[in-house]
Amino acid sequence: MERLLHALNQPLTGLQCSLEVALAAPRTEEYYAARMREGLELTERMRALVETLREMASAGAENLETGPEKEAETFELKSVLREVVDDLRPVAEAKSVGIALEGSAVSTVAAGAVAIAIKIKIKKGRRNFFSLAFRTLEAVLSLADEESGLRIELGGGAADSAGGAAESAAGKDQVWVRITWQSKSRPQEFCRAELGLLVAQAGWEGAGARWDRQRVENRETVTVRLPGVSGVRN
């Protein structure tokens, strides 16, 4: 929220300065037209930031709180992720991005490997989990290079951070999802896709999950960890 508010101040200040200069003295029609075009661009940036602020402000209301057995809904994480991948198939195919959902039997844009079933209990159900997963992967697809690959890994217990050192013993009781994609150039900080990832991050963290994003050369990785949720491999 702090980053977004700071980012909102920049185009707002630019718009105010542009209007003040335009009114300081008579100008040509061409000058006014140019200032109006700049004002529209700044306004569009502000609208995108305000929409993101609104989404983030309400993200905590629809989260994935863990709860007792009687309040929880049990579902397979892999089946939800498969549905998300199926829904995003047209977007992936348009960019020629292959999606590998590792550990499941999906045959979407590309296929995964060994079958595992991870069942989790979420108080507010699979619908909210689907929404957060969809928002995350939708933004990642926008950031991924054309004709590249996107890998989704899922598991239970401690997860290595982007292939690095293992989590501590406290990470044994957690379900995790890791998404890896290729991006040769760094996107603008507050482009639509980056704003989408910010909203997704706020949603996951509002649910008590841990969000970790790393970049190594051209590879980016996001790992979402749901602590205190048992993961079962079959």
**What 3-state DSSP class applies to 64?**
coil
Give the torsion sign (CA, 80, 122, 165, 143): positive
For residue 30, is pLDDT > 90? Answer: yes
pLDDT at 24: 92
For residue 165, is pLDDT > 70? Answer: no
Q: Are residues 197 and 107 in the same domain?
A: yes
Q: Are residues 156 and 100 in the same domain?
A: yes
Q: Are residues 21 and 52 in the same domain?
A: yes
Query: What pLDDT, in 10s, does the model give residues 177-205?
Result: 999 999 888 777 778 888 889 888 888 88
pTM recorded for the entire structure:
0.69
- Is residue 101 domain-resident? yes
- Is residue 157 domain-resident? yes
Q: Are residues 80 and 146 in the same domain?
A: yes
pLDDT at 96: 93
- Is residue 232 domain-resident? no
Q: Are residues 76 and 155 in the same domain?
A: yes
- Is residue 233 domain-resident? no
Q: In sequence order, which residues have a C-beta less than 8 Å from that of residue 101 and are 6 or more positions away? A: 78, 81, 82, 85, 108, 112, 152, 154
Q: Tell me the pLDDT of the chain averaged across its residues.
A: 76
Q: Are residues 78 and 55 in the same domain?
A: no
Query: What pLDDT, in 10s, does the model give residues 96-150?
Result: 999 998 854 333 333 222 233 455 555 556 777 888 899 999 999 999 999 999 9
Q: Are residues 49 and 83 in the same domain?
A: no
Q: Are residues 24 and 95 in the same domain?
A: no
- Is residue 94 domain-resident? yes
pLDDT mean over 165-175: 51
Q: Are residues 12 and 75 in the same domain?
A: no
Using the 3D structure, point to which of 11, 39, 59 is the last residue of a domain: 59
Categorize the per-residue pLDDT at 233 as very low, low, confident or very high, splitting at 50, 70 and 90: very low
* Counted domains in the chain: 2
Q: Could you tell me the CATH number of the domain that includes residue 195?
A: 3.30.565.10
Query: What pLDDT, in 10s, does the model give residues 52-89?
Result: 888 877 765 554 444 444 455 567 788 889 999 999 99
- Is residue 215 domain-resident? yes
Q: Which two tokens stand for residue 85?
A: 């991948």
- Is residue 234 domain-resident? no
> Helices 2-24 and 29-59 meet at what angle, rounded to 10?
160
The b/e string for 71-107 (b: 16+ C-beta within 10 A; e otherwise) is ebeebbbbebbbebbeebeeebeeeebbbbbbbbebe
E strand spans, 145-230: 149-156, 174-182, 210-216, 219-227
pLDDT at 173: 52
Rounded Cα–Cα distance for residues 142 and 135 (Å): 11
- Is residue 32 domain-resident? yes
Using the 3D structure, point to which of 59, 83, 103 is the last residue of a domain: 59
Q: Are residues 178 and 92 in the same domain?
A: yes
Q: Are residues 76 and 186 in the same domain?
A: yes
Domain encompassing residue 20: 2-59
Residues in the chain: 234
Q: Are residues 50 and 127 in the same domain?
A: no
| Integer-rounded Cα radius of gyration of the chain | 21
Q: In sequence order, which residues have a C-beta less than 8 Å from that of residue 20 and are 6 or more positions away? A: none
The b/e string for 172-201 (b: 16+ C-beta within 10 A; e otherwise) is eebbbbbbbbbbeeeeeebeebbbbbbbbb
